[in-house]
Amino acid sequence: MEVEARFNSVERLQQYITGCKSEADGHIVDTRVPVGWPTNGTIDFRDYKMKYRENTPVVLDGLSFSIGGGEKIGIVGRTGSGKSSLGVALFRLVEAHEGSIRIDGVEISTISLRQLRRRLSIIPQDPVLFIGTIRYNLDPFNNYSDEQIWAALEKTCVKDSISKLEGQLQAPVSENGENFSVGERQLMCLARALLRNSKVGT
């Protein structure tokens, strides 16, 4: 049984290497977005259809709706109704089958993944932290100052507990953040999103 399981793993790896379709380009030289985009964060779905693979059914079928800038909405529904698929669509983890999504008037399929994803934020349902330091988890690309990071931690009411740790922002984070409580991990994920100050977040 163990040998069979290991060979199944090899077959799966081979399938992923040779059969998986790549994402769109991370960089598109000729695309430009307005400076500071998005400024308001309005989102327009226009007759949007999405399927996870060519030979699978449509999971989002003809969605058309608008969300105003600064508006906060909740999406409810039973398991399999497409709630998570809306987030997948916004981040272009799967490309549209038909229709379009516009953020502040810009069709997101016409810009690079890097331009799009750097301007969106997500707070995961299961709080995710990585091995490293607190600072690395909040600002992995060193885009922000310590003062900005502390301000984000203060907004999420976790500044006091972080400031008591040895090393403070340089305090170590173990695998999956297991040296912090689930609540602390959730607050740090929230601080990470606040630090980016995105106009669109999920």
Same domain membership, residue 141 and residue 107: no
50 forms beta bridges with 60
Same domain membership, residue 155 and residue 99: no
3-state helix, strand, coil in the chain (%, to 5): 35, 15, 45
Residue 75 · residue 68 · CB < 8 Å: no
> Exposed/middle/buried for 167, CB within 10 Å: 0-12, 13-18, 19+?
exposed
Report the C-alpha gap between 34 and 84 in whole angstroms.
Answer: 28
Report the C-alpha gap between 174 and 101 in whole angstroms.
Answer: 38
Number of structural domains, the chain?
A: 2
The reported pLDDT for the residue numbered 100 is: 92
pTM: 0.75
Q: What angle do CA 94, 96, 97 make, to 5 degrees?
A: 115
More confident residue, 131 or 201: 131
Distances 122 to 91, 144, 160, 164, 175 between C-alpha atoms, Å: 10, 18, 24, 28, 20
Does residue 38 lie within any of the structural domains? no
Does residue 160 lie within any of the structural domains? yes
Q: Compute the average pLDDT of residues 181-194.
A: 90
Same domain membership, residue 115 and residue 50: yes
Q: Mean pLDDT across the chain, nearest whole number?
A: 86
Same domain membership, residue 88 and residue 48: yes
Does residue 31 lie within any of the structural domains? no
Does residue 57 lie within any of the structural domains? yes
Could you read off the pLDDT of 21-41 as tens digits, one per residue? Answer: 777 765 565 567 788 888 888
Q: What angle do CA 49, 55, 60 make, to 5 degrees?
A: 20
Could you read off the pLDDT of 43-68 as tens digits, one per residue? Answer: 999 999 998 888 888 888 888 999 98
- Among 53, 85, 120, give the residue marking a domain's end: 120
Does residue 151 lie within any of the structural domains? yes
Q: Which two tokens mark 81? A: 């109704």
Same domain membership, residue 170 and residue 115: no
Q: Which two tokens mark 139? A: 């600002």
Report the C-alpha gap between 19 and 1 in whole angstroms.
Answer: 26
Report the C-alpha gap between 94 and 20 in whole angstroms.
Answer: 12
Could you read off the pLDDT of 82-126 as tens digits, one per residue? Answer: 888 888 899 998 899 899 999 998 999 888 888 888 888 888 888
Beta strands in the chain (DSSP E): 43-50, 60-67, 98-103, 106-107, 120-121, 132-133, 172-173, 200-201
Structural domain span for residue 144: 132-197
- Among 94, 120, 146, give the residue marking a domain's end: 120
Same domain membership, residue 190 and residue 146: yes
Same domain membership, residue 140 and residue 115: no
Residue 70 · residue 2 · CB < 8 Å: no
Does residue 11 lie within any of the structural domains? no
Same domain membership, residue 116 and residue 47: yes
Q: How far is CA 186 from the centre of its chain?
A: 15
Confidence of residue 75 (pLDDT cuts 50, 70, 90): confident
- Among 120, 147, 180, give the residue marking a domain's end: 120
Does residue 58 lie within any of the structural domains? yes
Same domain membership, residue 137 and residue 165: yes
Same domain membership, residue 73 and residue 93: yes
Does residue 192 lie within any of the structural domains? yes
Same domain membership, residue 139 and residue 115: no
